[in-house]
Amino acid sequence: MDTVPNKAPVPASGSPASAEDATTRPSAPLQYRVVAKCGVTKARVGVMSVRHADVDTPVFMPVGTQGTLKGVLPEQLLALDCRIMLGNTYHLGMRPGTTVLEKAGGLHRFMGWPRALLTDSGGFQMVSLLQLAEITEQGVQFQSPYDGSECMLTPERSMEIQNAIGADIMMQLDDVVKTTTTGPRVEEAMHRTIRWLDRSIGAHARDTEQSIFPIVQGGLQPDLRRVCAAELTKRNTRGFAVGGLSGGESKDEFWRTVHLCTDLLPEDKPRYLMGVGFAADLVVCVALGVDMFDCVFPTRTARFGCALTRAGQINLKQRTFAQDMRPIEDDCDCSTCRTYTRAYLHHIVTVEPVACSIVSVHNVAFQLRLMGDMRDAIQEGRFPAFVKSYMAVRFPDDTVPQWIRDALAAVNVQL
């Protein structure tokens, strides 16, 4: 056994959430407790209790940028026992805007989602999607993609929008630079992110209901990451995020930065790695001590006719599936795999709009089931064995990438 003793039970990954009974919600807007640890790696199982859900961690959070998960209904997410999903501050602030969101009573009611929500600050979209964006100490100046007007997103405005959205967890506005940026701009962005956190905390109007997560920045420079984490952890926040990765850096730089940041962040608060969603990356980063993940990948790849399996992604458009009467995965009990064959999906993918929904349901189910399997393995003292088994299926014939071998060796798992 490699779990710590006296661990508390966590509901099974497929059990109904106790989240929707408001009378059981904790008095604090976010409480987190670690209930089991792997005795070999840095993996752990926890429960993050917020107003709308008890979220078992490690958790993958599907991304509903505009207040909807593309191709998936809230009822379908509930059927998959999804406890938490994302919305985006930039997009929701632009449309429908805070007036509509406040009139609706917040995003939960507006979109018909009873469980937990996390909102990104909008900073990443400012820089990645908008060509006409200028970052100053005040905030991010940009041109609206809807009407061309000049707009300014400040830490205060980001908080105002997120308070109107009413998400259980809100991200601070951070100064985002491309991951591969070098030179003084990286340090400038890191220090500005710290200053913007203080402004965000000062502007937060609903601290008894919503929680701010700061974002550790510093590019690929360990010293800057250390400085940033040291400063952010001085603030009394209820969780932390690691940002500025999955943006073009090498996988070797990626895992080393994650490994460092989880060492720097508190043991008693959840750690959120932003923008990571490939299955092998999830397994590695759980071993490195990460608790929360998000990515658009499962639904985006579904729109291109691709389905996720333990052996890797399959492209259902390929003719090899034209007469394949198996489900996407034989051991998956999602509604897609219970109902449809690969042959049928080959027939409709990228042609019929409903195919996006059918494949997206499976891909989200795949991600959630993977996280549940990891939680079970950690609790049952077999996580290192799970990792080895997973990698053997995903990378047969000893083809595991070297960066994965190195990352897992750093937490005592030898492949």
244 annotated as belonging to a binding site for a ligand:
yes
121 annotated as belonging to a binding site for a ligand:
yes
259 annotated as belonging to a binding site for a ligand:
no
123 annotated as belonging to a binding site for a ligand:
yes
SS3 content of the chain, % helix, strand, coil (to 5): 40, 20, 40
Q: Is 147 a catalytic residue?
A: no
Q: Taking the alpha carbons of 223, 224, 225, 227 in that order, is the dihedral positive or negative?
A: positive
What is 7-48 written as a DSSP string? PPP---TTSPPSTT-GGGS-SSSEEEEEEEEBSSSS-EEEEE
Q: Is 294 a catalytic residue?
A: yes
Q: Taking the alpha carbons of 229, 235, 240, 242 in that order, is the dihedral positive or negative?
A: negative
Q: Which two tokens stand for residue 117?
A: 């929500």
DSSP state of 63: B
Which one is catalytic: 81, 175, 281, 294? 294
381 residue type, one letter: G
Asked if omega into 96 is within 30° of 0 (cis), the reply is: yes
332 annotated as belonging to a binding site for a ligand:
yes
| Rounded CA separation 129/114 (Å) | 30
337 annotated as belonging to a binding site for a ligand:
yes
217 annotated as belonging to a binding site for a ligand:
yes
DSSP state of 132: S
Question: Is the CB of residue 54 less than 8 Å from the CB of residue 25?
Answer: no
Which one is catalytic: 54, 81, 120, 291? 120
120 annotated as belonging to a binding site for a ligand:
yes
Listed as own residue / partner, the contacts of 135-143 with beta carbons closer than 8 Å and 24 or more positions apart are 135/175, 137/192, 137/195, 139/173, 140/173
122 annotated as belonging to a binding site for a ligand:
yes
Q: Taking the alpha carbons of 171, 173, 179, 184 in that order, is the dihedral positive or negative?
A: negative
Binding-site residues, in ranges, read 120-124, 174, 217, 244, 332, 334, 337, 362
- Residue numbers annotated as active site: 120, 294
Binding-site residues for substrate, in ranges, read 120-124, 174, 217, 244
Binding-site residues for Zn(2+), in ranges, read 332, 334, 337, 362
